[in-house]
């Protein structure tokens, strides 16, 4: 694990307010790491709704399968309700066969006893090494103690307990009007490698006291991830464990917040915007903590025939090792950007392409921009954030993807993570 904090970490960490109906506790259960917390228990009051989106991996982790089954409700009346979230770091409980399934069942059982709820109201997430059995008996005793000591104000501790190769905890918060009442949204995320979310990235949890039905929450999540967590890549590697869960306690109803049961409800407008900003904020923080990252990279593709086409080209650029190493070397190597546009397989006309780095156009109409000044662009490449903009000149569709550069530190971090 890297110990130095990413130079791209946000300078300001927000004060995280409490969310009525949510209590948190963390512990060091010794799952893998020594001398740090590795278990988070979040307790939610009765009436809390839940929604989730997960990895599209064909080999998902056991906790992902557990959560999916609970959200589907498995025929139960509990569909969409939640009372507890248990997250551990250090072991992903992925590719652990029947042991993995048994381990999720045992964890949920221990949690349900500790909290006093049904196992179907327990949600689970694990992150860390893949393929090692997770010994769920380590939660025995620990979760009961956490349930007793949980308090509403432990947000930073919670965000720290779920870290793996992250170099800083990732949190975001917003307070917004729902009807005439104030409601609050808190979010946290972890993730630094194995990130090319064909969905959410690694682990992220959102909590609010707004009274939203599970269906509304699910709609908000699904719409919200499209241009945030789904438009993010560190290394093109999709985790087996990507999990994004949102919980709504509904506690703000006591202050007059209206109960929302339709996603199209006009009163939801400000909330939707704030919710999306939280997702955008957290996903950008994940890019800022990309393993070994020294530059935040924003890839903008415009003039595409369709938005999915723009997304595919942007992802091709964002995942190109040659583009990413060039950025690490502060080299405005637009030839490699052309290469990445060309290999995407999407409509592109070489002779209409224009490319800019941090607002300086280096190529236009399929050739070097004769007016560009190498010195000026070299200077611009030294900034901690680099925007690559590609204008395809074909249509009006546009998209944007966030990533980071590829440095020797990425190789160092991943060359001996397991051992």
Could you give the residue numbers annotated as active site? 201
Distance CA 28, CA 142 (A): 9
CB of 289 to its own copies, least distance (A): 16
Distance CA 155, CA 178 (A): 23
CB of 197 to its own copies, least distance (A): 10
CB of 327 to its own copies, least distance (A): 9
Distance CA 267, CA 185 (A): 16
Q: Which is nearer to its own copies, 255 or 325 (CB)?
A: 325
Q: Which is nearer to its own copies, 137 or 365 (CB)?
A: 365
CB of 198 to its own copies, least distance (A): 7
DSSP string, 63-119: HHHHHHHHHHGGG-TTTTB-SEEEEEEEE---S-HHHHHHHHHHHHHHHHHHHTS-G
SS3 content of the chain, % helix, strand, coil (to 5): 35, 25, 40
- Assign 284 to helix, strand or coil: helix
User: Furthest-apart CA pair in the chain: how many Å?
Assistant: 71
Name which of 243, 154, 168 is nearest 204 in CA terms: 243
Q: Which is nearer to its own copies, 89 or 184 (CB)?
A: 89
- Assign 42 to helix, strand or coil: strand
Distance CA 205, CA 26 (A): 15
Cα 207–chain centre separation: 14
Q: Which is nearer to its own copies, 252 or 348 (CB)?
A: 348
Distance CA 280, CA 172 (A): 10
Q: Which is nearer to its own copies, 256 or 345 (CB)?
A: 345
Q: Which is nearer to its own copies, 283 or 309 (CB)?
A: 309
Q: Which is nearer to its own copies, 158 or 293 (CB)?
A: 293
CB of 92 to its own copies, least distance (A): 8
Q: Which is nearer to its own copies, 193 or 224 (CB)?
A: 193
**Parallel, antiparallel or unpaired: strands 39-44 and 22-27:** antiparallel
CB of 265 to its own copies, least distance (A): 36
- Assign 321 to helix, strand or coil: helix
CB of 191 to its own copies, least distance (A): 13
Tokens 């397989």 belong to 345
DSSP letter at 139? Answer: G
Instruction: Answer for the pair 234, 286: CB distance below 8 angstroms, yes or no.
Output: yes
- Assign 282 to helix, strand or coil: helix
Distance CA 98, CA 178 (A): 45
CB of 15 to its own copies, least distance (A): 36
Distance CA 50, CA 125 (A): 14
């Amino acid at each position: 694990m890297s110990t130095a904090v990413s130079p791209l970490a946000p300078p300001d960490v927000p004060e995280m307010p409490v969310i009525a109906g949510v209590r948190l506790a963390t512990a060091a259960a010794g799952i893998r790491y020594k001398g740090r917390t590795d278990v988070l228990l979040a307790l939610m009051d009765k009436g809390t709704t839940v929604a989730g989106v997960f990895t599209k991996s064909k080999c998902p982790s056991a906790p992902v399968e557990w959560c999916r089954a609970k959200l589907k409700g498995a025929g139960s009346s509990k569909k969409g309700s939640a009372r507890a979230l248990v997250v551990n770091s250090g072991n992903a409980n992925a590719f652990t066969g029947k042991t993995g399934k048994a381990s999720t069942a045992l964890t949920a059982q221990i949690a349900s006893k500790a909290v006093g709820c049904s196992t179907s109201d327990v949600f689970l997430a694990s992150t860390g090494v893949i393929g090692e059995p997770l010994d769920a008996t380590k939660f025995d005793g620990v979760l009961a103690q956490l349930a007793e000591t949980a308090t509403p104000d432990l947000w930073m501790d919670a965000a720290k307990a779920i870290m793996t190769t992250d170099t800083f905890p990732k949190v975001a918060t917003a307070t917004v009007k729902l009807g005439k009442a104030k409601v609050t949204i808190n979010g946290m995320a972890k993730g630094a490698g194995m990130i090319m979310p064909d969905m959410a990235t690694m682990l992220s949890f959102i909590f609010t006291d707004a009274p939203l039905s599970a269906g509304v929450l699910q709609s908000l999540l699904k719409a919200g991830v499209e241009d945030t967590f789904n438009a993010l890549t560190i290394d093109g590697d999709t985790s087996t464990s990507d999990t994004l869960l949102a919980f709504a306690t509904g506690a703000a109803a006591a202050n007059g917040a209206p109960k929302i049961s339709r996603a199209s409800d006009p009163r939801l407008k400000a909330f939707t915007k704030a919710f999306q900003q939280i997702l955008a904020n957290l996903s950008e923080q994940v890019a800022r903590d990309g393993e070994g990252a020294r530059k935040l990279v924003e890839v903008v593709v415009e003039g595409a025939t369709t938005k999915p086409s723009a997304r595919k080209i942007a992802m091709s650029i964002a995942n190109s090792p040659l583009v990413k190493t060039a950025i690490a070397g502060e080299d405005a190597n637009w030839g490699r950007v052309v290469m990445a546009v060309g290999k995407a397989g999407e409509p592109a006309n070489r002779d209409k392409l224009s490319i800019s780095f941090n607002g300086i156009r280096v190529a236009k109409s399929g050739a070097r921009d004769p007016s560009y000044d190498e010195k000026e662009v070299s200077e611009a490449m030294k900034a901690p954030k680099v925007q690559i903009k590609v204008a395809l000149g074909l249509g009006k569709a546009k998209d944007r993807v966030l990533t980071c550069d590829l440095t020797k530190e990425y190789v160092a971090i991943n060359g001996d993570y397991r051992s």
